[in-house]
Amino acid sequence: MKRNSRLSSTLHILVHMAEAPERALTSEQLATFIHTNPVVVRRTIAGLREAGIVSSSRGHGGGWQLGRAPEEISLAEISVALGETLLPFSTEPESPGCLVEQAVIAVLDDFRLEAERLLAEKLSHITLADLTADFRRRYDLIGVSSHAL
Amino acid sequence: MKRNSRLSSTLHILVHMAEAPERALTSEQLATFIHTNPVVVRRTIAGLREAGIVSSSRGHGGGWQLGRAPEEISLAEISVALGETLLPFSTEPESPGCLVEQAVIAVLDDFRLEAERLLAEKLSHITLADLTADFRRRYDLIGVSSHAL
DNA sequence: GCTATTTGTAACTAACTAAGTTACATGAAA
DNA sequence: TTTCATGTAACTTAGTTAGTTACAAATAGC
């Protein structure tokens, strides 16, 4: 799992969970999908559990399942649950009292506020169901997935 | 200079340059504004020079000046010249051939394309002149800047 | 020309972040 | 009660970026 690929890796995992709704997938299995470690998976999607996007169960036959229908899970929620920032730049004051910095931060924060609203709005209209539909389309065309579902 | 504050730090520097159009400011001076090292400044704004946003001159009386009027310098250009990414997440394939990943990346890239277009559009309407105007407003109200211009 | 000043840049160091790993307690099913 | 799975803490490793040192190259003023 590369740096900065937490969102796409998580989506990858979630699509697999959506495609196997009848059974729980273990972190071990999920980890192999995204070529990483089970502990990294658990750590990464722990926030999704708290958000009700997935549920986990321990012990024999345990693992991870979606917490609700793919249609009801938006990328906006997932992104928030992962603790991802949509915009990368920081606007924390480094010279409190400097009017130049205050002006810069004010303008930048205005932009950030508006931009984040816009991005969140866009992401809220993309659901996990859209992803699985896209996957199904590709699957029906080519007829095989690289790691058997 | 903190991590992820390259954009705001650079804007800070540029506003100072805009406020002193008659003379060149040395990297030494610019560095004190953002509490960092002259070499870091030179390295950070080297890209702005290549983009014509600033110009630099060596030797006695040398230093940095804006390459054109503040009205003609947009945050979009600055952001690009700094090599900043507007969206932080990666969509590079880690499992080439995996249809699930392909679907995820396709949807995410669609979103990214649209989002970047939108953000760039917004940033292109904010100019350095807007920042200096905001600074002037604050300055006229309070009457003093923390580090003398 | 010589000197002082300033950028340009390479090379290295330090600090920070995030992934990867190990280890083990906790809980649940067979 | 054994086995399997998550939950989580603690540590290690890798990668990134800021900070630093050093010095060559260019320019202005004398």
> What local confidence, expressed as pLDDT, does residue B77 receive?
98
Across the range B107-112, mean pLDDT stands at: 97
Kindly give, in sequence order, each residue whose CB lies less than 8 Å from that of residue A86, ignoring residues fewer than 6 positions away.
A79, A115, A116, A119, A120, B87, B88
Nearest to A99 among B2, B114, B146 (CB): B146
Cβ contact B145 with chain C strand, < 7 A: no
In CATH, what number does B6-142 get?
1.10.10.10
Task: Give chain D positions with protein CB within 7 A.
Answer: 3-10, 15-22, 25-29
Residue A144 pLDDT grade (very low, low, confident, very high; cuts 50, 70, 90) = low
Residue B66, strand partner residues: B54
Do A120 and A75 meet the contact criterion of CB atoms below 8 Å apart? Answer: no
Please give the Cα distance from B139 to B141 (Å, whole number): 5
State the average pLDDT over residues A100-117: 97
* Cα–Cα distance for residue pair A18/B29, rounded to 1 Å: 57
Tell me, what's the pLDDT at B3? 81
pLDDT of residue A143: 57
pLDDT the model gives residue A142: 80
Cα–Cα distance between B111 and B107 in angstroms, integer? 6
Q: Which nucleotide is nearest to B2 (CA to C1')?
A: D18
Identify which has the larger pLDDT, A1 or B128: B128
pLDDT of residue B142: 81
| Bridging pattern class, strands B63-66 and A63-66 | unpaired
The structure tokens listed for B9 are 């730090």
Predicted local confidence at residue B146, as pLDDT = 53
> pLDDT tens-digit profile of A48-94?
999 999 999 999 999 999 999 999 999 999 999 999 999 999 999 99
What is the residue type of A136? R
Query: Bridge-partner residues for A55, per DSSP?
Result: A65
The more confident residue out of A114 and A148 is A114
More confident residue, A141 or A61: A61
Per-residue model confidence (pLDDT) at position B72: 98
Averaged pLDDT for residues B99-104 = 96
**pLDDT tens-place string over residues B55-80:** 999 999 999 999 999 999 999 999 99
